[in-house]
Amino acid sequence: MKKEDPRITRTRKVIHDTFLALLEEKNYDEITVQDILDKAGINRSTFYKHYLNKDALATHIIERLKADVIIPILEQRFSSPTMEFALKAAPIINEYRKTIRLLWQIETRRINLKQDMQKIIRQKYLENQAASSPLSEEDARFQGQFFAIISIGMLEYVLMNDKPLDPQKTQTNLQEVLRYFVLK
């Protein structure tokens, strides 16, 4: 595989960082390519050498995050005991907290990281269940949806708070909440 020119890498990093900084200041719909150009100190042709438009930029950043961070974390989810996984995932979540939170703000017909993550989590759950236990398709879909919703809900709480993720405390809180779903 051919290594990317360092100038291209630097330029893309400047564009990405600028875009994320603008997401802290404005809603996605309010951000223009001109805003990115002005804040990054680059010219229009430089931006368009790399991206078709701001949607292409957002999509590229999200796809890289999914490929480099989210999917690799989820690949480990069902191969490790829960607490072991949480201890591995917590530092990664803490590192990417701000980026994920900012990208979750983008909710268009084509771009929605939060929704994408929920689908990926559900799919990984279904793949694991298919390999490990014989469930009816309906039960597997129900469990997959429930698992994905709980996972996204916990992650959203962590992302929106400034405290680092504490796996032990999260586990205790989750067990406490799930008690209310157990029929006695």
Cβ neighbour number for residue 58 with a 10 Å cutoff: 22
* Residue 6 belongs to domain with CATH number: 1.10.10
pLDDT tens digits, 150-183:
999 999 998 998 788 888 888 899 899 989 988 7
Host domain of residue 138 = 61-181
7 domain-assigned = yes
69 exposure class (CB count in 10 Å sphere: 0-12, 13-18, 19+): middle
Query: For residue 68, how far is the Cα from the chain centroid?
Result: 10
180 exposure class (CB count in 10 Å sphere: 0-12, 13-18, 19+): exposed
Q: Indicate the number of domains in the chain.
A: 2
Q: Which pTM was predicted?
A: 0.90
On whether the CB atoms of residues 106 and 116 are closer than 8 A, the answer is no
56 domain-assigned = no
pLDDT tens digits, 64-87:
999 999 999 999 998 888 889 988
Residues 77, 1 within the same domain: no
Return the DSSP state at 43.
-
91 domain-assigned = yes
Residues 42, 66 within the same domain: no
Is 134's pLDDT higher than 70?
A: yes
Residues 77, 96 within the same domain: yes
Residues 126, 89 within the same domain: yes
Residues 109, 37 within the same domain: no
Query: What is the gyration radius of the CA atoms in the chain, in angstroms?
Result: 19
97 domain-assigned = yes
